Structure 1
Amino acid sequence: MATQDDFTVTPHSVDGDVDYEQLLDQFGADEVTADQRGRFPDSGHPLVRRGVFYAHRDLDQFLNAATAGEDHALVTGVGPSGPMHIGHVFPFYFAKYLQETAGTTVYIPLSDDEKYFVKDLSLEDIGGYTRDNLLDILAVGFDPERTRLVVDSADADIIYPLASALSTDITQATVEATYGEPENIGHSFYPAVQATHLLLPQLVEGRQPTLVPIGADQDPHVRVCRDVAGKERYDVEKPGALLSKFLPSLDGPGKMSASDDAPNILLTDDRETIREKILTHAYSGGQSSVDDHREQGGDPEVDVSYLLLYYFFEDDDTEVERLAREYREGSLLSGELKELAAEKIADFFEAHQRRREQLGSLEDELEPYRLTEEERQQALGRVGYPDDSAGVRRF
């Protein structure tokens, strides 16, 4: 939890104009270096090359394993509190990039229980969002041989015993110091569940470097988990983290949320809806009139349309540099930049939507991504549960 006069960053809210250097100092993370960026496979990903992932914890261990072809894993998930939006796209497609280029094993937890603890949503609503989110995750196109999807409520037979074992190493004082006063006892217990998510690849498959790409606001989850992983009785490595800057909401600075009042671009939006949202709501770094813009130019660093292209939707570094230069010079107008961003985003989303439409039933599609019985037993055994090959615990 980081609070300054000008901004506040917690796992549940981000307000104000975030100073990323100050945030880095407060969280005690390290800045990603040029050498580390250069070690990512296949010339790196735009999120890495352009410094969107700007800070880390123990990144070198992950890169060493990835480049040497050794076992390594990545954990990235979602809390299903609404339809997935543009801000959810980045970590999943980043994970797919690493899976395709480095053979990374990807674990994807869906924390439907946590959303019930902290959101004013019914279990029925959360269940519907969970199913919807799962379809969007499956549409990304992960390799089922190297991917495991876990839903807290549906996989409670593995998540709850593991979280119970890990919870003995998390004190209430730690929870309150990290997150503030919990809203309820479910919320208070959730850090143990989150630690289970982040350690699950190692509990299932054995000790290996694990990377967690997250927004900087989620770093407290990693810090608590690293404390747990440091206990000698767990034969695991502390999970590393790759911390990203926040994607702005359409109306300007601040983190994009699925549940706030700012308009969001949803993964289900059609081309015309995306265009309308960008043209109507995307905060502009340009001037108030065409003549003034031609004379004074605009500021791409605060222009949401440009930032969307820079963060993810324009892969060509030369092109994003050209757009920034022409915008500053005034030869590229705000409306033109918005049109370009809307077209690029719509192209990407239409491809995603086509893959989603080609999926069969959720139950059939999800089955290859579920933890196997053997994997569940391996995880339980690593935290001290006896072998359950006879099914004794499943009354």
Structure 2
Amino acid sequence: MHEFTVTPYAVEGDVDYDRLLEQFGADELTDEQIADFPQPVHHLVRRGIFYAGRDVDRFTAAANCGDTVSIVTGIGPSGPMHLGHAYHFYHAKYLQEQTGAYVYIPLSDDEKRFSKELSFDEIHKHARENVRDLVAVGFDPDRTSIVVDTADADVVYPLAAEFATELTPATVEAVYGPPPNVGLGFYPAVQATHLLLPQLVHGPHPTLVPIAVDQDPHVRVCRDLAAKQRYDVEKPAALLSKFLPQLGGSGGKMSSSDDAPSILLTDDRETVREKVLRHAYSGGRSDVEEHREHGGDPSVDVAYQLLFYFFEADDTELERLAADYRSGDLLSGELKRHAADRIADFLEAHQRRRPDGPISEVVEPYRLTDGERDQLSPEVFDDV
């Protein structure tokens, strides 16, 4: 049995997603649950990329009835955004379009200071560029809030301090292991604030947290906290995804620290093509003649897997590509060029929507309003 590690701070080895569910205590999505997602069901759910969760039925039932629902999914601003980040946000945008959900996007700049050897200046430089990419996704600004922990500390910190009183060191260590510093020991209370923020603003309602499976510990701790009777909130539902494959293959996740480079949301067409052609692990044969005779294996071919995950929504076209590859009619280089073109098409459209100008103006429509701040922040020096 091969070994692997999956935590919010490290993913190592070839991940066994079924074993991971046993470790985390989550359930694989059933066909009935998948069918209950807003129609048409997004191919990320239909194809099992989002493959497991907790309490997704409450979210889908409320969404299908037109009731209030929300989505929380964020990013740690430790570098440029890449394809491994993009599909979560585009899926959240799709759900917002289908359901009218409020979307909250936390940027955990404090957590990156605690867990990475980065200064706040470096982290905030990444955060500003991440915000431009988040706005380019196309969320409805009237129903979307971007929250940065240190910039919105007047809201985040008092709530996190309140929630921290309910989290014991033993609870945190049982889920995360011993924290390397007191900052990461406190961070689960901040993450709980992120996940409960929509309900603290809009009242109790089903909240869905669509995240990569390595982030599930944050949801587990928050669900335990939300179950306490003193808080008028529902336990947030988790929707867990597999990792977008690394260009170099294996069962890890795409990361900017891989030996094979990640594809950034700011890469141009030539850069995408060079990265895919040079680095994408091939499921093809060692030479053209052998490939024509025996065919390739799309299940391990990274170019095909990128199409399967996100960049080919048409099931019929995807099946045709797989069949042609298995038969040897489609060569590895041809499949790589096709995938590179589809990715570049997506990125060019994303980049056309990516806003320029002062970051304060870019983010302003997505910041918490004065009314929300007044509702959530303690008025220490107001007369009572």
Normalised to the residue count of structure 1, the TM-score between the two structures is: 0.94
CA shift at 1:379, angstroms? 3.1
Contact 1:10 1:179 in 2 (8 A): yes
Structure 1 counterpart of 2:338, one-letter code: L
CA shift at 1:212, angstroms? 0.5
Secondary structure of residue in 1 paired with 2:200: helix
Instruction: Specify the alignment match of 2:69 in structure 1.
Output: 72
CA shift at 1:141, angstroms? 1.1
Instruction: Find the aligned partners of 2:110 and 2:259 in 1 and give their Cα distance.
Output: 23
Structure 1 counterpart of 2:296, one-letter code: G
Instruction: Specify the alignment match of 1:305 in structure 2.
Output: 303
Q: Deviations over 1:94-142 (max 9, x none)?
A: 0110111111110000000100001011111111001010111011111
Instruction: Find the aligned partners of 2:360 and 2:41 in 1 and give their Cα distance.
Output: 34
Instruction: Specify the alignment match of 1:266 in structure 2.
Output: 264
Instruction: Specify the alignment match of 1:103 in structure 2.
Output: 100
Contact 2:38 2:60 in 1 (8 A): no
1:144 aligns with 2:141: yes
1:116 aligns with 2:113: yes
Instruction: Specify the alignment match of 1:26 in structure 2.
Output: 23
Contact 2:73 2:104 in 1 (8 A): yes
Percent identity over the alignment?
Answer: 66
Instruction: Find the aligned partners of 2:357 and 2:312 in 1 and give their Cα distance.
Output: 31
Select between 210-219 and 369-378 the one with higher mean Cα deviation. Answer: 369-378
Question: For structure 2, which runs of at least 5 residues remain unmatched after alignment?
Answer: none
Contact 1:112 1:153 in 2 (8 A): yes
Q: Deviations over 1:183-217 (max 9, x none)?
A: 11111100000111011100111100000011111
Instruction: Specify the alignment match of 1:221 in structure 2.
Output: 218
Instruction: Find the aligned partners of 2:324 and 2:15 in 1 and give their Cα distance.
Output: 27
Q: Deviations over 1:248-272 (max 9, x none)?
A: 1110121112334330100110000
Instruction: Specify the alignment match of 1:165 in structure 2.
Output: 162
CA shift at 1:5, angstroms? 4.2
4+ residue runs over 4 A deviation: none
Structure 2 counterpart of 1:32, one-letter code: L
1:379 aligns with 2:376: yes
Aligned residues: 382
Contact 1:212 1:242 in 2 (8 A): yes
Instruction: Find the aligned partners of 2:287 and 2:199 in 1 and give their Cα distance.
Output: 56
Q: Deviations over 1:227-252 (max 9, x none)?
A: 11011010000000111111111101
Secondary structure of residue in 1 paired with 2:354: helix
1:287 aligns with 2:285: yes
CA shift at 1:223, angstroms? 0.3
Instruction: Find the aligned partners of 1:120 and 1:313 in 2 and give their Cα distance.
Output: 33
Instruction: Specify the alignment match of 1:92 in structure 2.
Output: 89
Question: For structure 1, which runs of at least 5 residues remain unmatched after alignment?
Answer: none
Secondary structure of residue in 1 paired with 2:208: strand
Contact 1:82 1:259 in 2 (8 A): no
Structure 2 counterpart of 1:289, one-letter code: D
Instruction: Specify the alignment match of 1:344 in structure 2.
Output: 342
Select between 14-23 and 92-101 the one with higher mean Cα deviation. Answer: 14-23
